[in-house]
Chains A and B, each alone.
Chain A
Amino acid sequence: MIDVSLLQTAAAEAVPVDYWSTAFVFVLATFIGLGVIRRVSRLLYTPLMSLTNAISAIAVVGSLVVAGADYPRVIRILGAVALFASMTNIVSGFLITDRMLKMFKKQ
């Protein structure tokens, strides 16, 4: 669906991404995640899952760039659908988490 012959004319400037420090972040974040999640109240596993769902919909920042930057139309359509999907998760995830948490009362 995308013209591969554009290849030759394309600018070949590589954005340097520091993969090693990203990998570092991944390992540390996983351990922080394991530590924090282990302490979560067992009563709240269902809201926990909808909350982490909403949080991981931070993928919205990636979709936003793909949908909104000056890219070919086809690419932006993929981005817009991804943005819609992430946004749905953010909205429904946070709202339903709060709705469930409101129900947990002590007395």
Chain B
Amino acid sequence: MTHAVAQLAAVVATALFIFSLHWMNDPKTARHGVVAGVTGMLVAVLATWIQPEIVHHGWVVLAIVAGFIVGVPLSQVPLTAVPQRTALSHSFGGLAAGLVGTAEYFLGLTEHPAQLTAFRMSAIVAEVILGFLTFTGSLMAAGKLQEVRWIPQRPVTYPGQNVVNIGVLLIAVALGVLVVVHPTAAWAGRAFYGIVGLAVLFGVLLIIPIGGADMPTVISILNSYAGLSAVAMGFVLGNKLLVTAGALDGSSGLILSIIMCRAMNRSFTNVLFGAFGTVQKAQAIGEQKAWKQETVEGAAQLLEQASRVVVIPGYGMAVAQAQHKVRELYDQLTKRGVTVQFAIHPVAGRMPGHMNVLLAEANIPYTALVEMEEINPEMPQCDVALVIGANDVVNPAARYAKGSPIYGMPIIDADKAKTVLAIKRSKNPGFAGIDNELYVQDNTWMLFGDAKAVVGDLVKQLAGGGGLH
């Protein structure tokens, strides 16, 4: 009876999960998706909990309460920290899969050796390798994003790195094959610990050579792994609900990874084994042209007289916490009848969709956010392109400079606007700044200073106060 209830609950939960994701196709219905997801989860957990084999209820309650104690504060992080939280949750997902796989193996070893069939053992080994490498890999990614002191932010590379990484993974897989073939041998338990250790190590090694600009792709790939480790757990436990939910998560991670890779014109292998950002050679651009500086008054006038302004935000805007000032600028300009749109590059920010969330938090209506592909054909009709804290995603070198690390990457065509205003933190051309010829174009005017302060001054100027401090 209770078994039938569990089966029914699993079917209901599966349907609810699919609906949950379906409703994410429009911001209007998206919140229904959360309700459907929570309902599916509740149904599935309760149906499992009432099964007669669950006898240690105290343990279950304790773990669930602990989950709430940690989970609620984690959901309240500032939106700039959402990528770290996401990486951390992939890490927890991987840990859960790895631990359950380990538990299932030793349980089988001590109590039901006949259950350790080759198929089930393969699933356990896959679950443990995927689970533990996702655990440490995501933990490293979260550490890099959070800028934890003892985790290097810059990509760390050394000769033979890829050979070492692939070697570690191959040894883990080889041990896995041995354990699959001889699951009950006297040495199998120790070999299993070896697999766990190597998977933990591989996760760390995999992320060490990866830099900040690649984080959107890496988070998506780790998302996919976390989903696959849940699928493997489903195979081990013979639980189709787990397989379905894991497959949904895995395919979501896969699609996002593909989109992120395309947005950077790079392949999976190139992201994972390419160590972006280490071999950047400054491109000598014929003659060095000088930038032209604009005053706040002049810039405000340009914006005011435009009929169409496209703002191109980058992660620098979020770092300077300038979103709310940008919203005020948006208000000032729309009040004057200027059409203001925000051009969003797929990899702007530190994870897929990050920039949209940061702008939505500042109360900018989502109807004003436009994707790169949609805005690019319209850029020549745009009067002012205002670049705030973006750099690589507007660098025209991506179109032609072979050998540049960003060559081939699709960019937002800021340079095609009638006038370009770019806010840049320092006059000192940094290693990225010297490469970006957008800044020295004939129709480009620079505004130097902290993004938040500069946008704030623009707002004051437009508001009529005129008083600069």
Contact = CB atoms under 8 A, between A and B. Distances in A.
Interface of A: 1-4, 6-7, 10-15, 17-19, 21-23, 25-26, 29-30, 32-34, 36-72, 74-76, 78-107
Contacts of A106: 27-28, 365-367
A46 B356 contact: yes
Name the prevailing secondary structure of the A interface residues: helix
Contacts, number: 405
Nearest to A18: B238
B99 A81 contact: yes
B111 A10 contact: yes
Given A67-B56, A100-B360, 17 more contacts: A13-B112, A41-B27, A44-B353, A48-B24, A56-B230, A60-B96, A62-B233, A64-B45, A65-B48, A67-B63, A82-B100, A86-B96, A87-B64, A91-B71, A92-B70, A95-B75, A96-B74
B252 A33 contact: yes
Given A53-B89, A88-B70, A78 B54 contact: no
Contacts of B30: 41, 44, 47, 101, 104
7 contacts: A19-B120, A42-B346, A68-B53, A89-B71, A89-B93, A90-B71, A106-B365
Contact of A43 (B27, B227, B246): B27
A19 B123 CA distance: 10
Nearest to B240: A25
A61 B250 contact: no
Name the prevailing secondary structure of the B interface residues: helix
Contact of B85 (A12, A30, A58, A96): A96
Contacts of A79: 59, 99-100, 103
Name the residue among A26, A45, A76, A79 with the largest chain B CB count within 10 angstroms: A45
B interface residue count range (under 10 / 10 to 19 / 20 to 34 / 35 or more): 35 or more
Nearest to B9: A61
Nearest to B75: A95
A17 B238 contact: yes
A9 B72 CA distance: 45
A49 B95 contact: no
Interface stretch (B15-23, B172-180, B199-207, B292-300): B15-23
B13 A58 contact: yes
Given A14-B112, A55-B249, A85-B96, A22 B235 contact: yes
B112 A10 contact: yes
Nearest to B103: A78
A53 B82 contact: no
Contact of A52 (B51, B79, B252, B346): B252
Contact of B55 (A30, A63, A69): A69
Contact of B21 (A36, A74, A90): A36
Interface stretch (B31-39, B431-439, B457-465): B31-39
B90 interface: yes
B92 A86 contact: yes
Given A92-B89, A96-B75, A49 B27 contact: no
A19 to B, nearest CB: 5
B417 interface: no
A98 B33 CA distance: 9
A48 to B, nearest CB: 5
Nearest to A7: B113
Contacts of B68: 87, 91
A59 B96 contact: yes
B249 A43 contact: no
A92 B230 contact: no
B253 interface: yes
Interface string B89-119: 1101101110110111011011111110101
A84 B251 contact: no
B239 interface: yes
Nearest to B231: A26
Nearest to B38: A94
